[in-house]
Structure 1
Amino acid sequence: MNFFSTLFHSKIKLSILIYHRVLPESDPLFGSGGDIVDFGLQLKYLVRNFKVLPLFEAVNRLRDGTLPARAACITFDDGYADNEAIALPLLNKFGLPATFFIAAGFLDGGRMWNDTVIESFRHAQGNTIDLREIDLGLHTITTLPDRRQALFATIDALKYMDPKLRQTQVEKLANLIAADLPDDLMMTADQVRTLHRNGMEIGGHTMNHPILARLDDASARIEIAEGKAKLEAITGAPVRFFAYPNGKPGKDYLPAHVAMLKELGFEAAVSTAWGAARHGSDMYQLPRFTPWDKSEFFYVLRMLRNMMQAVQTV
């Protein structure tokens, strides 16, 4: 038993890791990290120090109190094409299972609103972006840090708008900047089937990735149910797990949405609250976290600190 095994031995908790994208190389717009090299290192650290389980097994063993020490799961949100093209081969190389929570409405050529903003800012020409016409300000983009700061400020301004208003604003933004935007960021239905054939779990993440707390109950239920049904039609298998879009308890989803998942037949759900789950945790509000350190020592140390985190739920 190595040093970290000793540290974790008495802490029978479930660490669920959350990822979104695995890029072929670092994206300069977002700084270092998030690429195939970093992901490969993190998988190596996980194999050495944790017992990585399929989410289905981990949830069942969490319920009945038989979870092994240092248990962990790997999850991905949204349904980016690089999950199948880049992440899947690495997961197979290490023999690791993962769960992919997919916003089904963006499959086969769709694009999430935030990616429309990101790619518009990435390809914008000149030294400024003038969005005053749509009340989103005038932004300097002379340097890469300027462009990054402007992008983050704009996304923050849009994130919690009414979904219909936000979509209208995003479309106007794209028209004002007039950049060529990609249509291959998200998975195809065939890529979803490939993940399923490779033994990966496919989970629900709504149809269009709205912040559920900003919808009326009927609309929220439709988003959840239709996303589940579409993914089940693609794979021919039940969708058992769900990830709340954005995922902050009490802000992005509410107790009513937890109740909806139970009524719609989901077996468990994950949030983006930090922490680790233990026997007796709410199975419909499981916390998630991913350390970002490049050294194994600090990577595992951060995982340990997260295991001691108190989990906030609604």
Structure 2
Amino acid sequence: MLLMVEGISHMISHLISLFVNVIASLFGKNKLSILTYHRVGSSGNAIAMNEALFEQQLLWIKRYFNPIDLTEGLALQKAGKLPPRSVAITIDDGYADSFNTIFPLLKKHQLTATFFISTAGLQEQYLWDELVAFTVINTPKRAISFNNKHYSLISIEERHHCMKSCLEEIKYCSVKKRNELIKTLLNETELTSLNNQFLTKEQVVILSDSGMGIGAHTHNHPILMSEIERDAQQEIQQSKSILEGILGKDVHYFAYPNGRYQQDFDDTHIAMVKEAGFSAAFSTDWGLLSHFNLDRFQIKRFTPWHETESRFVLSLALNYC
């Protein structure tokens, strides 16, 4: 029975591999898929991936695709020499699990990734969304009022509902308005502190020295279209300057927070990124890179959530179409 199961599993893997190769040969010439991850592990964050699943996806990437460093992938795509089935890995935000969980797994499987870091987290040791989530989930109060809405917090389900609602209320505000709302929320929940959740400057240096890429992700992780132009430009430039000061070298890449073109950023912000001196910039719009010179400042990425081998691999393969 065990031999039969192993045989079936091998046959399925062979069929998946054939499918990926056919898709790549028909549609994938000189195309780069760029995966985007955020948090990995038991953070409780809504966009956190299970650690075991993340490692399994790394194995699937190695088995069926051609993992490549982002800088190398961009250069080869521009030159028209990108290997088939090429995939690069990116990690957004810069939370502590980037170093404690993701980095060790990348090293274990001899892979690289580029980490896009919001630099306010390096100073405060968290970003605004984690502070909101923490204060709602952990407040001793059994009910709160926030922004003219009342929330019961008796059950954990009610706390999660409140957390998601508060995050949505705050997300598209300017940084100034966001900070005012968060201050109100902290006063209401009677919680004002959060344990360190973010990368340290020393860890950023270690990541870079170990062959990982480091990119900018603004300073405060705002929605750029919610900011006046002067503040948006400052957010973009400040993150670049801080990271370059830490690393002692140029930072070439930028990822737009939230990252959807015409909803979170527009052509005005693309011009700001160019003016700041970045070489390329990345959105979260789904897709891939097929024309570097045309797309270099709004390169699309792919978010891999599927938990089964067949669905993960097939969806990533179909991204080349």
TM-score, L = length of structure 1: 0.90
Query: Displacement of 1:108 after TM fit?
Result: 4.0
Write the deviation string for residues 19-59 of structure 1: whole angstroms up to 9, x where unpaired.
11112x373x749x612211111111111111111111111
Aligned to 1:188: 200
Q: Higher Cα Rg: structure 1 or 2? A: 2
- AA aligned to 2:92 is D
Aligned equivalent of 1:129: 144
Distance 2:163 2:124 in 1: 23
- State the 4+ residue runs in structure 1 displaced beyond 6 angstroms: none
What's the secondary structure of 2:295's corresponding residue? coil
Once the two structures are superposed, the pairs formed by residues 170-185 of structure 1 within 5 Å of their partners are 170-179=182-191, 181-185=193-197
Give the unaligned 5+ runs of structure 2.
1-13
Higher helix share: 2
Separation (CA, whole Å) in 1 of partners of 2:295 and 2:102: 29
Question: Residue in 2 aligned with 1:8?
Answer: 24
Pair 1:74-2:89 in alignment? yes
> Which residue in 2 is equivalent to 1:216?
228
d(CA) in 2 for partners of 1:307, 1:186: 34
Equivalent in 67, 76, 84 of residue 52 of structure 1: 67
1:83 Cα deviation (Å)? 0.1
Counting aligned pairs with the same residue, the percent is: 35
2:168 to 152, 156, 161: 156
Deviations 1:258-308 (A, max 9, x none): 112222221111001011221354111111122212211111112133333
- Secondary structure of the corresponding residue to residue 9 of structure 1: helix
- Whole-angstrom CA distance in 2 between matches of 1:83 and 1:35: 13
Match of 1:42 in 2: 57
RMSD: 1.9
For 2:94 and 2:252, the matched residues in 1 are separated by 16
Inter-partner Cα distance in structure 2 for 1:70 and 1:26: 32
CA contact (8 A) 1:123 1:180 kept: no
Partner amino acid for 1:9?
A: S
Partner secondary structure for residue 285 of structure 2: coil
TM-score by length of 2: 0.88
Deviation at 1:109, TM superposition (A): 3.5
Question: Which of 190, 212, 220 is the aligned partner of 1:200?
Answer: 212
Partner SS, residue 73 of structure 2: helix
Residue 148 (structure 1) shift: 1.8
Given that 2:174 and 2:223 are in contact with CA atoms closer than 8 Å, whether structure 1 keeps it comes out as no
